[in-house]
């Protein structure tokens, strides 16, 4: 019996089946996060999502520790309610970390996509500079050994130099983003705000109007600069050095919040904190000063004389005086004259006296406590025994304490 062609059932051709078959085969081959890693505990959370401490289930790698960052999705009670794609910050961080390979940059092991959730697996670092600073400040203001500070700053400059030579600005350097492994190796982390700066299609300001945490933000950014350079990272390094010496932030100002997403207010209070120590900048020393959008608002601030040397003598008097020129060169107002990361590596301070150590903790008598983590025994037992995970595809540990 011949059936008219118009009445014959539609048959999928090979090209229709190929995509579906490939996707099914790919999905079946995926290994879940909890199959590959055993979650030890919950470390911290932020605007990006959550970070967990884990170790590999591979017997050959069982002694290695990892940090797993789960990027936040649009969820409610752990269940995905709306999928809006991958955030710009997550895309940048994943793309850059895949390409960057340096001993002082956080090492990305792998990226896992599971049930509309993204996980970045990195090498775990037991400490960070903020934790180390707090440890010293809360124990009778005991100064961090100068050999440790020398190693920390040199390794930070080495990592920043690598970033800049590869056309990347970090744009959020601060103690909390500088990790230190148990072996004393510094790792610059959190590249969510990092940007490539060679041949940009538009100004860096157009993409992100506010960058760098306020206490570590450079004067050119505070004055509303639209076209800035990698020098903003070196100002942040200077602020970190000052904080390591004083055990408290150098310029602890209050941030004026944006009233809308278009207008960035002049950060008067933060600029005043800088001027009180560094003195008021002048056009003669910083020729482009009067070209910045907020220069007129800046002129209304009270004039101060330079006070950095007095601040250093009163705060860091026990340290080698040769560290002062390094601090001063990093905190140069004019970004064109500010010390570069590459030149910082051969600064006279690092070439004189005690040799720079590869291990931050070498020769130190201090034993820093391990990073605090939150545990949820019931969840961990389920994860280990049943390989179960929530509907968001995720590592979900109840938040017990905020750090």
Render pLDDT for 13-66 as a digit per residue (tens, 0 to 9): 555 556 667 767 766 677 788 889 999 998 887 767 789 999 999 888 878 899
Q: Which residue has the higher pLDDT, 227 or 283?
A: 283
Q: Got the DSSP string for 148-171?
A: HHHHHHHHHHHHHHHHHHTTEE--
For the ranges 85-94, 214-223, 330-339, 365-374, the lowest mean pLDDT is seen at 85-94
User: How do beta strands 127-128 and 74-76 pair?
Assistant: unpaired
Residue 288 pLDDT > 90: yes
pLDDT of residue 217: 97
Instruction: Identify the band that residue 83 occupies on the pLDDT scale cut at 50, 70 and 90.
Output: low
- What is the reported pLDDT for 385? 44
pLDDT of residue 400: 36
Which of 11, 58, 6 shows the shortest CA–CA distance to 37? 58
Show the tokens assigned to 3.
């059936």
The helix (run of H) or strand (run of E) holding residue 66 is strand 65-71
Query: Distance between CA 288 and CA 284 in Å, rounded?
Result: 9
3-state secondary structure of 350: helix
pLDDT of residue 379: 41
Instruction: Give every strand in the sheet of 117-123, ordered side by side.
Output: 37-45, 49-56, 65-71, 117-123, 108-114
Residue 373: pLDDT above 70? Answer: yes
Residues paired with residue 120 on neighbouring β-strands, in sequence order: 69, 111
Which domains are present in the chain? 30-125+372-386 (3.30.200.20), 127-351 (1.10.510.10)
**CA–CA gap between residue 241 and residue 234 (Å, rounded):** 10
Q: Each residue of 296-355: pLDDT tens digit?
A: 999 999 999 999 999 999 988 777 888 999 999 999 999 999 999 999 999 999 998 888
Neighbouring residues of 122: CB distance < 8 A, sequence distance ≥ 6: 66, 67, 68, 69, 97, 106, 107, 108, 109, 189
pLDDT given at position 394 = 39
**Catalytic residue positions?**
172
Rounded to the nearest integer, the mean pLDDT of the chain is 84
Share of the chain above pLDDT 70, in %: 82
Contact 80, 60 (CB under 8 A): no
Supply the pTM of this predicted model: 0.84
Give the pair of three-digit tokens for residue 394: 């995720």
Q: Is the pLDDT of residue 91 over 50?
A: yes
Q: Which H helix or E strand runs over 35?
A: helix 33-36
Sign of CA dihedral 154, 286, 174, 368: positive
386 pLDDT higher than 50: no
Burial grade of 342 (CB within 10 A; 0-12, 13-18, 19 or more)? middle
């Amino acid at each position: 019996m011949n059936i008219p062609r118009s009445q014959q059932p539609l048959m999928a051709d090979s090209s229709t089946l190929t995509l579906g078959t490939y996707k099914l085969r790919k999905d079946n081959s995926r290994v879940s996060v909890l199959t590959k890693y055993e979650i030890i505990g919950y470390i911290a959370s932020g605007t990006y999502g959550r970070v967990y401490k884990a170790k590999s289930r591979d017997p050959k790698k069982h002694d290695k520790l990892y940090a797993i960052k789960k990027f936040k999705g649009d969820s409610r009670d752990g269940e995905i309610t709306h999928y809006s794609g991958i955030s710009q910050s997550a895309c940048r961080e994943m793309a850059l970390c895949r390409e960057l390979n340096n001993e002082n940059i956080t090492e990305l092991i792998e990226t896992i996509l599971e049930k509309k959730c993204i996980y970045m697996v990195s090498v775990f670092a037991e400490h960070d500079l903020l934790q180390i600073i707090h440890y010293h400040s809360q124990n009778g203001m005991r100064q961090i050994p100068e050999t440790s500070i020398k190693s920390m700053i040199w390794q930070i400059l080495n990592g920043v130099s690598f970033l800049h030579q590869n056309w990347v600005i970090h744009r959020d350097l601060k103690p909390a983003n500088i990790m230190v492994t148990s072996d004393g190796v510094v790792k610059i982390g959190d590249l969510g705000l990092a940007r490539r700066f060679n041949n940009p299609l538009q100004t860096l300001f157009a993409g992100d109007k506010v960058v760098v945490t306020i206490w570590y933000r450079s004067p050119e950014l505070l004055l509303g600069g639209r076209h800035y350079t990698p020098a903003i990272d070196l100002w942040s390094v200077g602020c970190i050095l000052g904080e390591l010496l004083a055990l408290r932030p150098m310029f602890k100002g209050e941030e004026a919040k944006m009233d809308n997403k278009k207008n960035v207010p002049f950060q008067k209070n933060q600029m005043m904190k800088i001027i009180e120590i560094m003195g008021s900048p002048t056009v003669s020393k910083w020729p482009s000063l009067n070209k910045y959008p907020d220069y007129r608002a800046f002129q209304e601030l009270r004039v101060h004389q330079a006070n950095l040397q007095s601040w250093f003598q009163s705060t860091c008097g026990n340290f080698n005086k040769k560290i002062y020129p390094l601090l001063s060169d990093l905190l140069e107002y004019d970004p064109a004259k500010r010390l570069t990361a590459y030149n910082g590596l051969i600064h006279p301070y690092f070439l004189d006296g005690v040799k720079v150590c590869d291990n931050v903790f070498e020769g130190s008598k201090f034993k820093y406590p391990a990073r605090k983590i939150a545990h949820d025994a019931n969840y961990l037992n389920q994860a280990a025994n049943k390989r179960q995970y929530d509907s968001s595809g995720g590592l979900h540990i109840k938040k017990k304490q905020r750090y």
